[in-house]
Structure 1
C-alpha cells in the first residue's frame, strides 16, 4: 500500500509539472500576440486598461506556475494578492467591492507577515541548530 501511495504522489507531481509546462507555453504564445499588438498599444488604439489586463494576466500566470512547482503557502498568498490587485486595477469595482478587496489584500499581507514568515524563520532556526 505504501508503494501505491508513493506512486500516486509521484504521478501527481508529474501531472503538476506537465500542467506548469503547458501554462508556460501558453504564456509564451500569448507574449507573441502582445508583441504583435505593441504598435497599437503605442498608437493609443488600445486602452491602457487592456494593457494592464494583459500584464496582470502574465504576472498571475507566472505566479500560478510558481505555486504549482514550489508548493508553499507564501506562493499561494502571492497569487491571491495579484489576482485581487488585478481585480482592483482593471475591474473598476464599485466602492463596497473595492473596500472588501483592499481588506482582503490587507488580511493576506498581515497573515503573510505574522504567520507565514514567522514559520519560515522558525524552520531556518531549527535547521541551524
Structure 2
C-alpha cells in the first residue's frame, strides 16, 4: 500500500509538472501572437479593457504555473488575488459584486499577512534568493 501511495504522489507530481510546461508553452506562443497583433491594438483602437484582459490572463497563468510548481499558501493567495483583481478591473462588476470582490481581496491580503506561518514565509524568501 505504501508503494502505491508513493507512486501516486510521484505520478501526480509529474502530471503537475507536465501541465506547467504546457501552460508555459501556451504563454510563450500567445506572447508571439500578441506581439504580432500589437500594431492592430494601436491602429484599430482596441479598447483598453481588452488589452488589460490579455495582460491579466498572462499574469494569472504565470502565477498559476508558479502555484503548480511551488505548492505554498503564498502562491495560492497570489493567484486568487490576481484573479479577483482581473474580475474587478476587466469585468466592470455591479456595486454589490464590487464590494464583495474588494472584501475578498482584503481578506486574502489579511490572511496572507496574519495567518501564514512565519517559517513558511521565511522558507519562500530563501527559495526566491
Same fold (TM over 0.5): yes
2:61 maps to 61
1:3 is displaced (CA, Å) by 1.3
1:121 is displaced (CA, Å) by 5.4
CA-based RMSD of the aligned residues comes to 1.7
Q: Which consecutive residues of structure 2, in runs of 5 or more, have no partner in the other structure?
A: 125-129
1:127 maps to none
Secondary structure of 1:68 counterpart: helix
Q: Which consecutive residues of structure 1, in runs of 5 or more, have no partner in the other structure?
A: 125-129
Bigger Cα displacement from structure 2, 23-32 vs 107-116: 23-32
1:70 is displaced (CA, Å) by 0.4
1:122 is displaced (CA, Å) by 7.9
Distance 1:41 1:121, change over 3 A: closer
> With structure 2 as the length reference, what TM-score do the two structures score?
0.90
1:91 maps to 91
1:70 maps to 70
CA separation in 1, counterparts of 2:92 and 2:119? 36
1:105 maps to 105
